[in-house]
Structure 1
Amino acid sequence: MKVEKLVELIGADFYTGVPDSQLKALCNYLIDKYGIDQKHHIIAANEGNCTALAAGYHLATGKVPAVYMQNSGEGNIINPVASLLNDKVYAIPMLFIVGWRGEPGVHDEPQHIYQGEVTVKLLEDMDIETFIISKDTTDDEVAAAMEKFRGVFAKGKQAAFVVRKGALTDAPKVEYKNGNKMIREEIIQHIVKATGEDPIVSTTGKPSRELFETRTANGQSHKYDFLTVGSMGHSSSIALGVAINKPDQRIWCVDGDGAVLMHMGSMAVLGANAPKNIVHIVINNGAHETVGGMPTVAAKIDLVAVARGCGYPNAVCVDNFDDLDKELEAAKNRNELSFIEVKCSIGARDDLGRPTTTALENKQNFMEHLRSL
């Protein structure tokens, strides 16, 4: 169905969410119509953040907000849905719009397979009324679902549209760009050159895909890298868990701005523990680029100040390759926790591939490499 018609039938005047490729039509529509307007649309750090923000909107207005997300974000909403929104607690009505990655029978990446299998069940277990929107779903069917949902909302409960691949159409074209010059894949190539055979933990999405292809282009083994293909926001915590148990080995974490924002508390834990053998690199393009390029708030905040405030003894920001190489070398030669923010452009080559090894193979090869160190 046309995304504009869906928005019309929903009738909400406030949306908040975390962008998703399956919901790109909706995300582009909201950016085109509202931009990042606090009264109507906020892209939040994670899905729990969105849910709480939307709850505050309801408390202030009495209206029903809409929260959009990829189905991987359902885990982040379980606590606020169960202990804040639920009708046995505050009875806060809310509409969720969930992109269905890994739908059974539809080919997808391994990190989405199980999540796809339990998407609807998780919503139902949280007592969230669901309706699935497919390519052939009619406007009248969605209108009837919304009418049913209004009865749910009147009881202080929640409902969700689960959106199948390709179900939403006619999105406006939105160009996402910034003024940064450095290309992420080239940044990763410089990191690989500097790290040698040191282990790297890389974040969700295109950075891990580009790291994999860099190793392939160099004729190198993939055993040096743990690709955090799912679990957005947790790569630095994985790196910390490795580093604590390999204290004599330098561990590099290649992170992204959207991932850092999603679980920024991990930086506080990293800084408080101050492992001497971690270099935490955040490639910041101010965008959720892997799912379409929609903006994050990272372009407006000082990540270096955040890192220093969390206790990182070394924190710098670079926007050119000469400075990047210098800071990589400095981090490599010091025995202290280091943080490097790299300002990056938005965009990747059209023919960027995906890892050709399985997630299990990646884990086994990485663990074998760690045992050899």
Structure 2
Amino acid sequence: MTRHIFTHPVMRRVCSFALRRMSSDARQMKLSPAFFHQCVTDIGVNFFTGVPDSLLSDYCAYVQVNVPETDHVIAANEGNAVGLAAGYHLATGHPGLVYLQNSGLGNTVNPLMSLTSPKVYSIPLLLLIGWRGQPGVKDEPQHFAQGQITPDMLKLMDIPCRILPRDETAAKMVVQEADQHFKTKKSPFSILVEASTFSEFKQPPLQANFPLLREEALKTVVDALEESDIIVATTGKLSRELFEYRESKGEGHEKEFLTVGSMGHASSIALGIAKHQLDRKVVCLDGDGAALMHLSAMATVGQRAPSNFKHIIFNNGCHDSVGGQPTEASHHETFSFGGIALACGYRKTLIAETAEELVTGTRQLLDTEGPVLMEIKLSVGSRSNLGRPTRTPIENKSDFMKYLGSA
């Protein structure tokens, strides 16, 4: 009797090899941002908003270059973006697209469940989500927990979830499935984007007429600190630069807490420390995109008014760690972190644009009763060989708490 080819041991090995080869070839394929964009506009999606993500950087760059400002808003946080897309639908009857990293799903839960849900206002929108921390894919430790629960989280919210294929025909079918969902269910639909899904698309670099780069400004600030001062550093490249600077000087890392995840919460973490470590200056090293994400934290800092709180915002006007897309803080003539801080109750604000102003401003910042804020205006860019912390978040926390005497 002749065996079925898939039960024959030799043929089974051949088929297994072929499937692995096909899977490998599929992973090497790239989806054109232009093609995907055409797919979503073909179903009537013409408004785009969100917070940039490294896995979506090529598509975000395509949108930045090809979509007019009236139809594209880089939001302060992901919940804001859902609200913007909801408003667009109410005004036009069409669904919008919200792009985000899966770590930002937490910011969307309230508006997704209490605004867009079919049990409330039933508002369709397309969620394009970068899947950081995907199981089985190498990534940074701050993404592991969120990566594991992302599909289940969407399922619990009753939001259909599909992985974006790299094949054009299959990708188009997923977008058409979303369109059918919008027409029948009138609620959100999500597409997960794996690493290296999109082919490369570069946007023109942002122009900033300021002489300082973030890394050199950071070194100036760190060198001015006193022995007992501690740092809370924001997520992204700033924390990586701080770690490498300490390494280059042969110093330990026990005096700083590196906020590798939870973008936008560095100032709140620093406030919690400052209120309970009154004999130390607590220096929060923030970024413009991170500060904007949870800008309301400045109100709490200003009104709680810890005298030992020193807030520095490194403003290069872009989301530097995920592709260089502009933030609202890039509009230097009409936007002022200092004005916001004063309105929130900060005692003093400073601005530094040159090396000389930075040296003088850092000295004033450290000598002034807080809360006090200094905005450093910077050019865009970082080293191409910038590394990542070699100590784990748990090790960083342990070292930091031992130094504070709280372990």
- TM-score, normalising length: structure 2: 0.88
Aligned to 1:356: 390
* Equivalence map 1:64-75=2 (5 Å): 64-75=95-106
1:342 shift after superposition: 0.3
Equivalent residue of 1:342, what SS?
A: strand
1:273 shift after superposition: 0.6
* Equivalence map 1:136-285=2 (5 Å): 137-154=166-183, 155-197=185-227, 198-285=229-316
Give deviations 1:279-322, integer Å, cap 9, x for gaps: 00000011000101100001221111011001001111110121
Aligned to 1:10: 40
How far apart in 1 are the matches of 2:113 and 2:170? 29
Residue pair 1:32, 1:172 contacting (<8 A) in 2 also: no
Give, as a single letter, the amino acid of the residue that structure 2 aligns with 1:157.
Answer: S
Matched, 1:316 2:316: no
1:180 shift after superposition: 1.5
Equivalent residue of 1:340, what SS?
A: strand
Equivalent residue of 1:245, what SS?
A: coil
Worse-superposed segment, 302-311 or 189-198 = 189-198
How far apart in 2 are the matches of 1:372 and 1:127? 42
How far apart in 2 are the matches of 1:174 and 1:113? 32
1:349 shift after superposition: 0.7
Give deviations 1:36-61, integer Å, cap 9, x for gaps: x02x1110100000000010000000
* Equivalence map 1:2-81=2 (5 Å): 2-11=32-41, 12-34=45-67, 37-38=69-70, 40-81=71-112
Aligned to 2:12: none
Residue pair 1:24, 1:291 contacting (<8 A) in 2 also: yes
Give deviations 1:129-170, integer Å, cap 9, x for gaps: 111024xx3222122222222222122211111000111114
For the aligned residues, what is the CA RMSD? Answer: 1.3
Equivalent residue of 1:162, what SS?
A: strand
Larger radius of gyration: 2
Residue pair 1:176, 1:293 contacting (<8 A) in 2 also: yes
Give deviations 1:103-126, integer Å, cap 9, x for gaps: 111111111111111111111111
Equivalent residue of 2:405, what SS?
A: helix
* Unmatched runs of 5 consecutive residues or more in structure 1: none
Residue pair 1:315, 1:340 contacting (<8 A) in 2 also: yes
1:218 shift after superposition: 1.3
Q: For 1:337, which of 367, 371, 390 is the aligned residue?
A: 371
How far apart in 1 are the matches of 2:387 and 2:312? 23
Equivalent residue of 2:128, what SS?
A: strand
Residue pair 2:347, 2:370 contacting (<8 A) in 1 also: yes
Worse-superposed segment, 325-334 or 78-87 = 325-334
How far apart in 1 are the matches of 2:200 and 2:296? 38
Give, as a single letter, the amino acid of the residue that structure 1 aligns with 2:192.
Answer: V
Aligned length: 369
1:201 shift after superposition: 0.1
* Unmatched runs of 5 consecutive residues or more in structure 2: 1-30
How far apart in 2 are the matches of 1:363 and 1:53? 37
Give, as a single letter, the amino acid of the residue that structure 2 aligns with 1:329.
Answer: R
